[in-house]
Structure 1
């Protein structure tokens, strides 16, 4: 019991910048737990905790015995030395706050648990953090879905689920077939990946070739099937496995479909945005002092949306199929706005 009390005192009240003497711990034991104990017992228990491998540290000081003149080492100023740094905890919290999948009440609980792992100073500055209101309707089955997908990927099994979409009442409902029946998806799952604040399931739909992506927060009524999943290497283009950074660069908006070679022109000053989106695995040719020609391998539909987003700055020149799709899209947009 004493060890648990000392552990809580050190964890809640100390860190490398706020250390505590044995005398101060004795006062805390009395005020917080009603425990009165002598100094030697406290010190012996602290040393046991250190031997057990708990992350606690202390300062050592070399002193000289007044009577014998012999040197000895005194131990003082104990503190909890967190296994994870405050800055690392902050990154974890920031990652949670940027997540668009986690329901607000669960997000608050997770943040509180992470804050409890920090130093006394970290706790004092982060104990009142409140998540912002989320956009959309959080899926209450989100964590259960992640659990089933994790098990399916680990055991190489298929899954079956329904996929949600919004109706005109701003409520989610299962996607349906043309005859009105709810559509069931039978999937070979491979990876769970994060992109732009969302979690996606990277998988193969048994009715289609190649890889597909599904938003995990839109998956509902998931079931683990007792059927072996199609190995990833059996998918066209993935015989040697999945190079995730390459796949992410080629599917910037997570559209399903193969990647193609695209060429576009852009101002040299636009290079930062290009690298942010496509990474450095691109071909760059400087055409003059102010312009560059970029060649990148990317999903064609994703490139269509990207080119529309950055229309004033980029001009797509290849492939011809993409140029034609952009022309048709721009004509349709112009007609809607009376141009």
Structure 2
């Protein structure tokens, strides 16, 4: 009998958690019917007793008092608007496969009532880029994160594409030995930045092109002074060996883009009523020049001369 009473409380908690919210309370009679469907016969007094136990354990059960009291779960770990935000993030992420997105959204739905879970069936319409098909990415990121926290090296293979779109392992399946320092989310892709034993310098790899990732017993290579946020702002995800101070001549309406890229601490000076200049430290590489091109002349390179010349050469290629 004692075990049945304990099981009854657990079933009551699961029922309230899965079926109730402020718009869908249940009555004592509803609870008794639920217990009866599970082979548990009890009285109204048992309902009141078990609800008191759950409240004493910290479960937020709200009672709507009337001729027939109704009950529902109040505060939850996540409120419905928070779950909607999480679902939108999962649905729109190009890092997470369609299958894994579905699995995660179903799990998020278990954190609220069944009625509210129906509102999580949302579809975010993206700008045409497909989700990946590689289910292993999810676990590769986990391995990389674990190696960062434990300061251990990883090994992996890296693949590229032939003109026929066939995947092939780079350097005939060479296994890279690598100390990861940070995972960076850039342009809807994950990149891992760290020390490459092959290149003997700071390098980066796109996570969705890594395969056969394994954590090694060897401790990671120590690199003092590495700052992920600074790396993203200055290097633009490509060539970290050639940082230079570059002066940009900008129209006023691109200030928000300058701040988005370089942060609010970026050095700027007013030039005239319509222009300002920004002094930034960057790697003058094709990604940087490509970023400049997107503004169609609203951002121009003033100095140094060698960077201006590289920009002209890139324009001539186009």
Provide the TM-score with structure 1 as the length reference: 0.80
Query: Offset of 1:121 from its aligned partner?
Result: 4.6
2:165 aligns to what SS in structure 1? coil
Are 1:141 and 2:136 matched, yes or no? yes
| Matches of 2:203 and 2:115, distance apart in 1 | 45
**Which residue among 200, 215, 219 is the counterpart of 1:224?**
215
Residues 86, 119 of structure 1: 8 Å contact kept: no
Q: Which residue of 2 aligns with 1:166?
A: 161
Query: Offset of 1:187 from its aligned partner?
Result: 0.6
Cα 1:137–1:195 shift into 2, 3 Å: closer
List runs of 5+ in structure 2 lacking aligned partners.
Answer: 1-6
Query: Offset of 1:315 from its aligned partner?
Result: 0.7
Q: Which residue of 1 aligns with 2:278?
A: 294
Aligned Cα root-mean-square deviation (Å): 2.7
How many residue pairs get aligned? The number is 307
Q: Which residue of 2 aligns with 1:203?
A: 194
| Matches of 1:25 and 1:256, distance apart in 2 | 64
**Which residue among 157, 170, 176 is the counterpart of 1:175?**
170
List runs of 5+ in structure 1 lacking aligned partners.
Answer: 62-74, 334-339
Q: Which residue of 2 aligns with 1:19?
A: 25
1:189 aligns to what SS in structure 2? strand
Which aligned pairs between 1:316-331 and structure 2 lie closer than 5 A? Answer: 316-331=301-316
| Matches of 2:131 and 2:14, distance apart in 1 | 40
Query: Offset of 1:205 from its aligned partner?
Result: 0.9
Provide the TM-score with structure 2 as the length reference: 0.85
1:49 aligns to what SS in structure 2? helix
Which aligned pairs between 1:180-259 and structure 2 lie closer than 5 A? Answer: 181-208=172-199, 210-233=201-224, 238=225, 242-252=226-236, 254-258=237-241, 259=243
Q: Which residue of 2 aligns with 1:337?
A: none
**Which residue among 55, 61, 74 is the counterpart of 1:57?**
61
Residues 157, 225 of structure 1: 8 Å contact kept: yes
1:212 aligns to what SS in structure 2? strand
Query: Offset of 1:220 from its aligned partner?
Result: 0.4
Are 1:40 and 2:51 matched, yes or no? no
Residues 92, 124 of structure 2: 8 Å contact kept: no
Cα 1:86–1:60 shift into 2, 3 Å: closer
Higher mean C-alpha displacement, 165-174 vs 106-115: 165-174
Higher mean C-alpha displacement, 40-49 vs 101-110: 40-49
Higher mean C-alpha displacement, 20-29 vs 316-325: 20-29
Cα 1:160–1:323 shift into 2, 3 Å: same
Query: Offset of 1:287 from its aligned partner?
Result: 0.9
2:119 aligns to what SS in structure 1? helix
Q: Which residue of 2 aligns with 1:268?
A: 252
